[in-house]
Structure 1
Amino acid sequence: MAAAMTRKKAEELVEKAMKGNDSSHDASHVWRVRDLALSIARDEGLSSNSESMEIVELAALLHDIGDYKYIRDPSEARLVENFLDEEGIEETKKMKILAIINGMGFKDELAGLGLCESLPEFGVVQDADRLDAIGAIGIARCFTFGGSRNRVLHDPEIKPRTELTKKQYIKKEEQTTINHFHEKLLKMKKLMKTEAGKRMAEKKHKFMEEFLQEFYEEWDGKA
C-alpha cells in the first residue's frame, strides 16, 4: 500500500514539475520510459525482487525532474531528493534511485562519470530512457526539442562533432537538429546495457538510418 501511494505521489510530482516543458520532455515521455523500464526489468529477471522493481519504477518516474535543460530555479535540482525524504524511502534504496538518476545521462557517459554498472536497475532505466530517444518517437522528440530551442534544422556546412566532451555536448553553439542524430542518437544502439534493450534498439536504429537517408535525398532535391 505504501509503495502504491508513493508511486501515485511520484506521478503527481511528474505532472506538476514537468508541466512547462516542451513535449520532447513531458509527462508522456516519463510514462513511456516507466513502461519500457518495467518491461525490460521483467525480461532481465528482476520481477521476482519487489524492491528492485520499485527502484526501477521510481527512478524511471523521477529521472527527468531537475533536468539541467529545463531548470528554472536552483531549488528544482533537489526536488527528487526532497520527495524521497518526505516519502520516508529507506536510505539504501534512496541512494540507489539517486545514483541511477544522476548517472544515466549521455553527458555523464561522455565524461566517464556516473556509471553504476553494479546496480542491475541502472542499465534497465537508462536503456528505457534511451529507447525513447530513438526510432519514430525519438525522431519526433528530436525535432520538437530542436524547434523549441530555435535550432537550425540542417546546414551541410556544419559537420557533426566527433569525440564530443561533456562540455561540448552541453554547449549550444553550432548545433543542428540533424547533427544531433550523428552526435548522439545513432550511438545509442551500441550503448545499451541490457540484452532486452539491445534487441529493442535494433529496429529503432534501422528506422533512423532509413529516415536520414530519405532526408538527405530530399534535401539535395533527389527525391
Structure 2
Amino acid sequence: MTALFFPHQALADTLLACLPDAFDGAHDLAHLERVWRNVQCIAAEEGGDRALLLAATVLHDGVHVAKNDPRRAQASQLAADQAREILSTTGWESPRIEAVAHAIEAHSFSAGITPQTLEARILQDADRLDSLGALGVARCFYTAGQMGGALYDPFDPQADGRALDDQRFTLDHFQTKLLTLKEGFQTATGRRLAAQRHARLLAFRDALLEEIGETPAR
C-alpha cells in the first residue's frame, strides 16, 4: 500500500486511528494527503519541524463543522483542542503539543488568527493551496452541492446589481473568498505556488462566464 504520509507514515497511522469517522469529500483523507504534499513542498524551501507539521496536517480538520454552521469560525479551535487530547496520549511534550495546536488554530480562514510560528505559516499556506487551482474549483462545487447551492444566479451571474451571496450561488464564492486568497500567503514558496493556482482559478471562472454568455469583469 502506498505510504500517503511518507516519511512519517507510522505517526500518521497512529493519529488517524484517533480521529472520528466523519465523511466530507472536501476534507477527507485525500485532502489531508494533498495538504501534506503541499507542506513538504513548502518546507523543502522554508524549513520547519517535519514531525510537528505532519501532526498538524493530519489533525487540522479533525472536527468537521459545515460551512453554513454558525460554529464555523470555531472549527479550528475545536480541532486544536482535539489535537491536544490526542497528542497528550501519545507521549508528546506540552510545548510541542501547543505548537501543533497553534498551527491548527491559525490554519483556518474563518478563524482569522495570525500564525506566529514557521510551522503555522506553512500549514496555513499548504491548506489554502488546496482551495485554489483545479482542486479549489472541485472542492468549491462539491461543498456547494452538499449545501444545495445553485451554480450561479441566471439573472445576474456576476452580481452587478445585487449583493454577493455565496450561500445561494456558488460562483459568488469565487469573489467572496477564492480569488482573494493569494494575497494572504505567509511564505515565499506559498506565494509562488498560490500565484500559479490563482491563475487556473481565474481561467476557470472566465471560461464559465463566457460559456453562459457573460463578459468576465476584471
TM over 0.5: yes
Scaled by the length of structure 2, what TM-score is found?
A: 0.80
Task: Say if 1:6 and 1:87, in contact at 8 Å, map to a contact too.
Answer: no
Equivalence for 2:72:
none
Residue 64 (structure 2) aligned to one of 43, 46, 67? 67
Unaligned runs of 5+ in 2: 1-7, 70-74
Structure having greater relative contact order (Cα 8 Å, sep ≥ 6) = 1
CA-to-aligned-CA distance 1:103-135 (integer Å, 9 cap, x gap):
2211122xxxx2133x01111011000001110
Q: Tell me the distance in 1 between the aligned counterparts of 2:115 and 2:190.
A: 17
Classify the secondary structure of the residue corresponding to 1:108.
Answer: coil
| Matches for 1:29-40 after TM superposition, within 5 Å | 29-40=31-42
When the two structures are aligned, how many residues end up with a matched partner? 194
| Matches for 1:165-204 after TM superposition, within 5 Å | 174-204=167-197
Q: Tell me the distance in 1 between the aligned counterparts of 2:9 and 2:32.
A: 17
Task: Say if 1:154 and 1:179, in contact at 8 Å, map to a contact too.
Answer: yes
CA-to-aligned-CA distance 1:131-185 (integer Å, 9 cap, x gap):
0111001101110110011012111275564xxxxxxxxxx98442111111111
CA-to-aligned-CA distance 1:73-96 (integer Å, 9 cap, x gap):
x9x754322211111211000011
Q: Tell me the distance in 2 between the aligned counterparts of 1:179 and 1:221.
A: 14
Q: Tell me the distance in 2 between the aligned counterparts of 1:30 and 1:4.
A: 13
Classify the secondary structure of the residue corresponding to 1:220.
Answer: coil
Task: Provide the aligned C-alpha RMSD in A.
Answer: 2.5
Task: Say if 1:17 and 1:65, in contact at 8 Å, map to a contact too.
Answer: no
Scaled by the length of structure 1, what TM-score is found?
A: 0.78
Residue 207 (structure 2) aligned to one of 190, 197, 214? 214
Unaligned runs of 5+ in 1: 47-51, 162-171
Equivalence for 1:115:
114
Classify the secondary structure of the residue corresponding to 2:63.
Answer: coil
| Matches for 1:1-223 after TM superposition, within 5 Å | 5-13=10-18, 16-18=20-22, 20-21=23-24, 23-46=25-48, 52-69=49-66, 78-109=81-112, 114-117=113-116, 119-155=117-153, 156=156, 159=162, 161=164, 174-220=167-213
Partner amino acid, structure 2, of 1:10: L
Q: Tell me the distance in 2 between the aligned counterparts of 1:205 and 1:142.
A: 14
